[in-house]
Amino acid sequence: MKILKTDTIGFCFGVERAVKAVYDILENEELRGRKIFTWGELIHNPDIINELSSKGVTSTENIDDINEGDVVVIRSHGVSSSVIDALKAKKAVVFDETCPKVKKIHKIATDSKTLIISGNIEHPEVKGIIGNCKNKFYVVKDIDELKKIVHNIYSEDEQITFVSQTTFSVEMFEEMKKFISQYKNITVENTICHSTEERQQQVRDLAQKVDMFIVVGGKNSSNTKKLFDIASQFCEAYHIESVKELPYYIKYKKIGLSSGASTPVRAVEEVIFNMISEIDNKDVIEQDVDFLEALEESLKTIRNGQRVKGIISAINGTEVQVDLGVKYSGIIPTAEFADDEAPKIGDEIEAFVVKVTDSEGTAQLSKKHLDMVKGLEKINEAYEQKTVLTGKVSEIVKGGLIIAIHGVRVFVPASQATLKKDEDLEPLKNTEVNFRIIEVDEGNGRRKRVIGSIRSVLREKRQAEIESFWNSLEEGKKYDGVVKSLTAFGAFVDIGGVDGLVHISDMTWTRVKNPAELVSVGEKVSVIVKSFDKEKKRISLTMKNPDENPWDILKANYNVDDVVEVSVVKLMPYGAFVNVIPGIDGLVHISQISKERLAKVADALTVGQKVNAKITEIDYEAQKINLSIRAAVEEVAEESAEAEEVAEESAEVEE
């Protein structure tokens, strides 16, 4: 008799992650003394559930059981967004251990106009997907239900997305996908977990080579039931939850063995050892002894893709030898070690099994591969939590750039690399940049496609800087800015990521016809905030120096009745504007130009002509000044007459 097991047994990635999280919480000193809940049964495995229960972990789906400060772990199946909101409202400490693959479906559900889900409507994963739908959704369990739903809702205007429960039957999904392919506006997202697909295929292959098949796993486990259904198609099959349910198997020559994704490896090992023990209690014939030895040895063997730990036993120029505690000697190329992590004899090391060579008793290992997997785990975590990462730009490639981080190549499209469109990417090469993971996609094969965004981090930083700028903005505050653009009415100046307007009248105290006479684009200028509107995001600036205010100069040096030399700058029907001092023009009314009555101002004055005028009125509040040429002439005449009288009187006295 032979016992053959599938390569993949034990927890899947999502379940192992959730179970580990609960045990880590139990050991967390900061959380000690708090009530710990899982939202629903953590996994479909009674032994694990009972073990956690003995440690004080309670399963619930009643929000009233939760109080402030309680710890709640969301299982890998995920939950609806309303559950998360309710737990946060209760101020619970939430650990969301939803499988990343399930979270991807949640995002699709949120974004979809119409969603069709293949799966069991009573399954907690499907309930969680439904709870994240914002629009119409339908759940189908087989091809017949799918055809009925599509027939009822399909239209060329209807945008439909088709997804699957991660543990759904691969065969049935492929049949559904083939049917949907005839509808051009139905998008198919293959959301079946790769681990599920791999387990199902391994069971399908092995079941055709054995006389009997045993599937170990919880009776409520959807993926375990599907494995049992697949095995049943090819041989006599049994679905057992524990070793206590083992059927009579002695009569079979070849027995296949596998487990569901919620079944720990130890449960499978217990079944195998029990079968060995049963055989030992019988009269075992000679040929069975070889089987027992082979089986015992198989439990110590390793397989391709397995993660193993060992002790470094020797180091030569090109290889690092690792003692794995089994019949195989592990070998890692020294090239896989970075300069700052030189291996040492006696160190424990973890690696992936790349290739097992039975004839040589060696196992080719890869530390680099494991580092990449661990890196992907960190990448997935960063993606889920929207964490900002820091990495080095290693390459500039067609359409974007590559950032190397945690042994993973992250592609950043050109549109996500900079704030401005079509900006040159070459200056970013070999520089450290902050970025965020925006997409992790399995693609068609096993290789993950990881996409990042530098732009999203830059935009957040810029937004924070702008918000800080507006909070610190004050009237009268001085800034050093850069002229961004010119218009006929003024200049827009960047004062820290925000543009303000310097009106042409605020560019200088003197008269100017065009802003280009004073400044050019790109020129650095000093400005002062005149006023601003935070809601409308408008800022009025001035380039005028308060110390050069011509009205202050006028007030300090001139008074009413002073006669000053002025220059004619403009002729109007009602008078002439004259420049008193730089920055101040005053009006000489037509009646104050000459003693004679004038038909036109031009009969007495021309632009550019310099004349004396007497200041007759100054209004500092309205910033207006009136003058009189006529009064200045009359004053000069009076002064001349007085001088002549004084001269005549002096002459008479001398006579």
Q: What is the pLDDT of residues 61-106, one digit of tens each?
A: 999 999 999 999 999 899 999 999 999 999 999 999 888 788 889 9
101-192 CATH fold: Cobalt-precorrin-4 Transmethylase; domain 1 (3.40.1010)
Structure tokens at 24: 């880590």
Residue 513: per-residue pLDDT: 85
Give the H/E segment covering residue 456: helix 455-472
Question: Considering Cα of 561, then 562, then 564, then 568, what sign does the dihedral take?
Answer: negative
Q: What are phi and psi of 493, to 5 degrees?
A: -120, 130
Q: Are 72 and 35 in contact (CB under 8 A)?
A: no
Alpha carbons 49 and 36: distance in angstroms, whole number = 13
The answer to whether domain 210-298 and domain 473-548 are alike in fold is no
Does the structure show a pLDDT above 90 at 565?
yes
Known catalytic residue at 125: yes
Alpha carbons 118 and 180: distance in angstroms, whole number = 12
Q: Would you tell me which CATH number, out of the four given (3.20.20.70, 3.40.1010.20, 3.40.50.2300, 3.40.50.300), belongs to the domain 210-298? A: 3.40.1010.20
Q: Are 375 and 405 in contact (CB under 8 A)?
A: yes
Q: Parse the chain into domains and list their residue ranges.
A: 13-99, 101-192, 210-298, 307-370, 386-461, 473-548, 554-638
CATH architecture of 554-638: Beta Barrel (2.40)
Q: Other CB atoms closer than 10 Å to residue 610's CB: what's the count? A: 10
Residue 447: per-residue pLDDT: 57
Residue 503 falls in which region: left (phi positive, over 0), alpha (psi -120 to 50) or beta? beta
Alpha carbons 605 and 55: distance in angstroms, whole number = 105
Q: Other CB atoms closer than 10 Å to residue 164's CB: what's the count? A: 27
CATH number, span 386-461: 2.40.50.140
Q: Please identify which of the residues 125, 439, 475, 639 carries the catalytic annotation.
A: 125
Looking up tokens 């000697």, which residue turns up?
A: 329
Q: What is the pLDDT of residues 140-152, one digit of tens each?
A: 999 999 999 998 8
Q: Beta 136-140 vs 93-96: how paired, if at all?
A: unpaired
- Of 155 and 149, the structure prediction assigns the larger pLDDT to 149
473-548 CATH fold: OB fold (Dihydrolipoamide Acetyltransferase, E2P) (2.40.50)
Model pTM greater than 0.85? no
Q: What are phi and psi of 459, to 5 degrees?
A: -65, -40
Burial class from Cβ neighbours inside 10 Å (0-12, 13-18, 19+) for residue 621 reads exposed
Alpha carbons 63 and 90: distance in angstroms, whole number = 8
Does the structure show a pLDDT above 80 at 298?
no
Does the structure show a pLDDT above 70 at 6?
yes
Q: Are 183 and 150 in contact (CB under 8 A)?
A: yes
Task: Please work out, in degrees rounded to the nearest 5, the angle formed at the alpha carbon of residue 128 by the alpha carbons of 158 and 161.
Answer: 20
Does the structure show a pLDDT above 80 at 289?
no
13-99 CATH fold: Rossmann fold (3.40.50)
Does the structure show a pLDDT above 70 at 295?
no
Q: Are 11 and 196 in contact (CB under 8 A)?
A: no
Give the N- to C-terminal CA distance of the chain in Å, as an integer: 163
Alpha carbons 2 and 272: distance in angstroms, whole number = 11
CATH number, span 307-370: 2.40.50.140
- Cα-based distances in Å from 451 to 107, 334, 356, 385, 442: 16, 30, 34, 15, 12
Q: What is the pLDDT of residues 179-220, one digit of tens each?
A: 998 888 899 988 888 778 888 999 999 999 999 999 998 888
